[in-house]
Amino acid sequence: MTELTLDTALSAQRVQRTPRRVCLGPLLAMTFLLLLIVAAIAPQWFAHSDPLAIVPRDAFHPPSWAHWFGTDQSGRDIFSRVIHGTRQSLFIGLAATAIAMSIAIVLGLAGGLGGARVDRGVSWLLEVLFAFPSLILALLFVAIFGSGIGPLIIATGLGGAPGYARMVRGQVLAVRNAGYIESARALGHPPLRIVTRQLLPNAMRPLIVTLTMGVGQAIVWASALSFLGLGARPPAPEWGTMLSMGRDFIANAWWLTFFPGLFIVLTTLSTTVVGRYLQQRLEGRLS
C-alpha cells in the first residue's frame, strides 16, 4: 500500500511538472519578442553608440567587452547597428503582413461571397499566383519599381498575399452558412454589418496564429531581398542589408554576418513558437 501511494505521488508530481516544461519555450520566445519590441521603441536603452558613426581606427575589431558584436569595415559598432535595425526589420515584417492580409481579405471575401463566377475567377487568379514562388513575385515587383523600403514592404506583402487569400476564402466558405449568420439575416441586419460584425471576425479568428508566424516569414523574405541589394540601401542598420555588407568579409570577419543572421533566425523561431502555442491554446490542446 505504501509503494502504491508513493507511485501515485510521483505520478502526480510528473503531471504537475509537465505544463512548466511545455510552456518554457513559448515563455522564452515571448520574452525575446518583448525585448525586440522594446529595442524597436527605445533602442538607446540597449545601445548607446551611433549605428552610423564611422571610426576607421576601430575597423574589423572582433567581439570584445568594448564592442560586444565587434565592428565592421568602417569601425561601426555591430551591436548598436543590430539593435537599431530591430525597428526597421520589425516594421517591415508587420507592414508587409498587414498588406498581405488586406489583399487576402478582399480576395477571400470576393471569392467566398461573390457567387460562383466570381469564386472561379478568384480561384483562377490564386492558381496563377501560386504558379510562381512568392519570393519570385517579390523580386519581380522590386525589379520593376526599384529598390527601397517602400517597394520592399509592398513586394513582400504581395508575395505572401496568395497564401493568406486562399485561407481567408476557405474560412469565409465555412462560416457564411453558420447559424448566427442566418439569424442575423433573419433579423434584417444589413449585409455590410453582417460581414463586418459577424462573418469576418469569426472567419479571421483561426488565422491569428498564421499571421503571428507570417511576420517572421516576412522578415526573412525582406532580409533576403535586402541581401540581394534590393531593399534598404547601405549603410542603413537593417538586418538583411548588414548581411549583404558583410558577405565580402565573411572569411576574415565572421561576426559581420553572424549576429544579424542570428537575430533573423531567433526572431523567426520566436514568432513560430508563439504562433504554435497560440494554436494549441485556441484548439484547447493544453491542459
Residue 6, pLDDT score: 45
Residue 284: pLDDT band by 50, 70, 90 thresholds? low
pLDDT over 90 percentage in the chain: 16
Asked if residue 168 is part of any domain, the answer here is yes
Enumerate residues 6+ apart whose C-beta is below 8 A from 230: 139, 142, 143, 147, 152
* CA neighbor of 224 nearest in space, from 98, 96, 138, 97: 138
Domain count, the chain: 1
d(CA 107, CA 114): 10
Asked if residue 170 is part of any domain, the answer here is yes
Q: Looking at residues 66-91, what average pLDDT do you find? A: 90
Three-class secondary structure of residue 33 per DSSP: helix
Q: Looking at residues 153-161, what average pLDDT do you find? A: 86
- Pick the more confident residue, 224 or 185: 224
C-alpha distances in Å from residue 25, one per residue of 10, 12, 161, 273? 24, 22, 29, 7
Three-class secondary structure of residue 71 per DSSP: strand
Q: Looking at residues 232-251, what average pLDDT do you find? A: 85
Radius of gyration of the chain (CA): 24
d(CA 214, CA 268): 9
d(CA 215, CA 207): 13
Q: Looking at residues 200-207, what average pLDDT do you find? A: 77
Give the range of the structural domain holding residue 109, as residue numbers without chain letter: 90-283
d(CA 103, CA 275): 22
What does the pLDDT look like over 208-221, one tens digit per residue?
778 888 888 888 88
Residue 32: pLDDT band by 50, 70, 90 thresholds? very high
Asked if residue 64 is part of any domain, the answer here is no
Asked if residue 42 is part of any domain, the answer here is no
d(CA 69, CA 54): 16
Angle between helical axes of 208-227 and 255-283 (0-180°, round to 10): 170
Angle between helical axes of 255-283 and 78-113 (0-180°, round to 10): 40
Cα atoms found within 13 Å of the Cα of residue 195, Cβ hemisphere only: 13
Q: Looking at residues 127-152, what average pLDDT do you find? A: 78
Asked if residue 271 is part of any domain, the answer here is yes
Enumerate residues 6+ apart whose C-beta is below 8 A from 180: 198, 202
Residue 11, pLDDT score: 52
pLDDT over 70 percentage in the chain: 91
C-alpha distances in Å from residue 116, one per residue of 104, 120, 179, 256? 18, 6, 22, 54
Residue 270, pLDDT score: 92
CATH number of residue 184's parent domain: 1.10.3720.10
Residue 79: pLDDT band by 50, 70, 90 thresholds? very high
Asked if residue 242 is part of any domain, the answer here is yes
Alpha helices in the chain (DSSP H): 2-41, 78-113, 115-130, 134-145, 149-175, 179-186, 191-194, 200-204, 208-227, 239-246, 255-283
Q: Looking at residues 137-155, what average pLDDT do you find? A: 80
Residue 31, pLDDT score: 93
Residue 4, pLDDT score: 45
Residue type, 215: V
Residue 203, pLDDT score: 78
* CA neighbor of 121 nearest in space, from 163, 165, 71: 165
User: Considering the entire predicted model, what is its pTM?
Assistant: 0.80
Residue 159, pLDDT score: 83
Q: Looking at residues 140-152, what average pLDDT do you find? A: 80
Cα–Cα–Cα angle for 152, 158, 162, rounded to 5 degrees: 155
